[in-house]
Chains A and B, each alone.
Chain A
Amino acid sequence: MTDIASNGVKSTMQGSSQASDHSEGMNYLQSIPKRVVSLYIPLGIIVTVLLFPFYWMALTAIKPDDQLLDMDKVSPFWTTAPTLKHISKLLFESNYPLWLWNTMFVAVVATVLSIIASVLAAYAIVRLRYKGAQWVGGAIFLAYLVPPSILFIPLATVVFQYGLFNTPYALILTYPTILIPFSTWLLMGYFKTIPYELEECALIDGASRWQILIQIVLPLAVPGLISAFIFCFTLCWNEFIYALTFLQSVDKKTVPVAIVNEFVDGDIYRWGSLMAGALLGSLPLVILYAFFVEHYVSAMTGAVKE
């Protein structure tokens, strides 16, 4: 029963993402040279511009210092003597592994907390439909629109009052304010697609609301949970202003803050290690993204479509 339903939910979702090539039927109306000019060339330019900074980041991270600064001997667009010096310096002679660990710890804990809170809230809003549930749903959407950059000043004093300043808990407790509105909104959309009849059957069989949530709704909402999880994780990893404001000591910082504050000095040879740091800080997210592209896209568009 559960399997059939989950397959149904999955296949409708895949169906919507694969029903894409609408123009296929009319392609014969365009000649190949025209397609090259109107499609491939503009697309090529845009994609190149979008990806060039990453190529440059990666190239700088493996270039030896002399080639970084002398652009006339070897063409700057590639390198003749790739070196792992910058990366090994980063990993073995700096606090970088510690910063990576801090970021990972904060991101995972904040994401898990937010997902638990969001699952409960989304289920209550969509399926319990208590008095005023619609208003609460609207309020959560509004909370999504409150940006961190108008909250960080009062939050800094709140964090200080609660004695959380300069601890990872300052971030673990404040990140959910960014994540919960988003993931609640996303999960509400997923829960709505689960057939109500399944829950009614379970209610008649004597299941409690809690059992229904754990044993019926959550297994069916797994794609939504994955989407919410990786998107929240990315947002946490990306977050800058709270981490910049609430953390002070070098060993507590997260990767984005640490790179901006600790690596940016007057040294002319800093570029190699700076770019290596940026590259290594992005890689975990890019790898995660590579495995879950569809979930990312549905998380991004789902929040807008609802």
Chain B
Amino acid sequence: MNKVLPLAVLAFAILAFATLMLVILPAAQFRTVEPADGLEPYTAAEERGRQQYVDLGCYYCHSQQPRSPDQAPDLQRGWGRATTPADYVYDDPHVLGTMRTGPDLMNVGARMPSQGWHLTHLYQPRAIEESSIMPAYPFLFEIKQNPGENDVVVPVPAEYAPADGAQVVARQSALDLTAYLLSLDRTYPADDLELRDLGYDRTEAR
């Protein structure tokens, strides 16, 4: 090869073709997807909490995409049914995740519906599961000697509670994040199942 321009043009054309296949065509398919029946838009607090989830990088350890029962026992672990694009219509940016250093969270709001549990777990995961390697997030909380009437006091076991009898109080960021986690509930029926990867499904066609 001895010409710059043809090389550049062909290289560009190949990438443009790949972009068509991997970006534009899937986008055209997803564009027509309606939100699933049963999927609610996030409330303002949930959306703020979702931003916390993204800022703190929760999605580097937690996926939000249960696999089909034909591929993995995600359903039996209580993580929920396999998801479809209709379940993510309100998600921006997406937080599908690529790691399960922690469990899948697609349905954590349905699985763990208690605000207190989440607040305690965020303040100190090891107060709930001794072997957990999830980081503690003490900066989402403040320590108060005399919590006010509107303060949400976090039930922390004595072992992890502040020494001088003070109380752990959730900041707004912790409440928002918890609101988001509690909103994660895709237990309604799946829509548009043909738009997910069915490469593992054991059907008669195989």
A, B from the same assembly: no
| Chain B residues close to A by CB (< 8 Å) | none
Interface residues of A (CB under 8 A from B): none
